[in-house]
């Protein structure tokens, strides 16, 4: 998301301040139902997907074409980075055992792809997943410790009670 270009002001929404983990998954399904002609993509983390990702079955049952992009770093990334920024430490339990989320999607009959290296991420692969009649999933396996743009969220959350 550090490098994402948003070309139209009504084409991107993020619930930064409330911080409800996984809320973007159901929100994307609702957005697609509200405006079926607009391509809809939910960018979420693996922790959020483990909380609400089975909503992909709702999208499958009703043929709702949403592309779910799951950033998989095998940890609760926003929690890890938030604690690191706010408290200068993060608990080791914020990490999780690696899970191949694309295999989960495949077992549900949902078209999917997994990216292990940036060179594998092509416009052709994304377009192929966007052309399905129902949901699809693109898993991006992360191998770095890049901090997402969350400074304002940390400031907001740390302001409670002050």
Q: Which long-range contacts (CB under 8 A, 24 or more apart) does 59-62 make?
A: 59/29, 59/32, 59/134, 59/135, 60/108, 60/109, 60/110, 60/134, 60/135
Number of structural domains the chain divides into: 1
The reported pTM is 0.75
Rounded Cα distance between 75 and 41, Å, is: 22
Does residue 138 belong to any structural domain of this protein? yes
Q: For residue 76, give the nearest of 59, 62, 93, 55 by alpha carbon.
A: 93
Give the per-residue pLDDT at 47.
83
Residue 128 lies in a domain: yes
pLDDT tens digits, residue range 40-63?
999 988 888 988 889 999 999 999
**CATH number of the domain residue 57 falls in:** 3.40.50.970
Residue 11 lies in a domain: no
Q: What is the average pLDDT across 95-116?
A: 92
- What range defines the domain where residue 64 resides? 41-158
Q: Residue 121 falls within a domain, yes or no? A: yes
Q: Can you tell me the distance from the alpha carbon of 134 to that of 107, in angstroms, rounded to the nearest whole number? A: 15
Q: Is 70 domain-assigned?
A: yes
pLDDT-above-90 percentage for the chain: 46
**Could you tell me if residue 129 is inside a domain?**
yes
Q: Say if 88 falls within a structural domain.
A: yes
């Amino acid at each position: 998301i550090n490098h994402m270009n948003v070309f139209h002001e009504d084409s991107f929404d993020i619930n930064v301040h409330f911080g409800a983990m996984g809320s973007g998954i159901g929100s994307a399904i609702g957005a697609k139902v509200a405006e079926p002609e607009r391509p809809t993509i939910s960018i979420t983390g693996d922790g959020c997907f483990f909380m609400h990702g089975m909503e992909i079955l709702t999208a499958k049952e009703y043929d709702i074409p949403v592309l779910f992009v799951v950033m998989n770093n095998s940890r609760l990334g926003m929690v890890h980075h938030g604690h690191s920024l706010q408290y200068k430490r993060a608990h080791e339990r914020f990490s999780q055992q690696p899970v191949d989320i694309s295999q989960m999607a495949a077992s549900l009959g949902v078209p999917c792809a997994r990216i292990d290296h940036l060179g594998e991420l092509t416009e052709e692969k994304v377009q192929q997943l966007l052309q399905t009649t129902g949901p699809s999933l693109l898993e991006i396996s992360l191998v770095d410790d890049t901090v997402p743009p969350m400074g304002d969220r940390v400031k907001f959350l740390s302001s409670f009670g002050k």
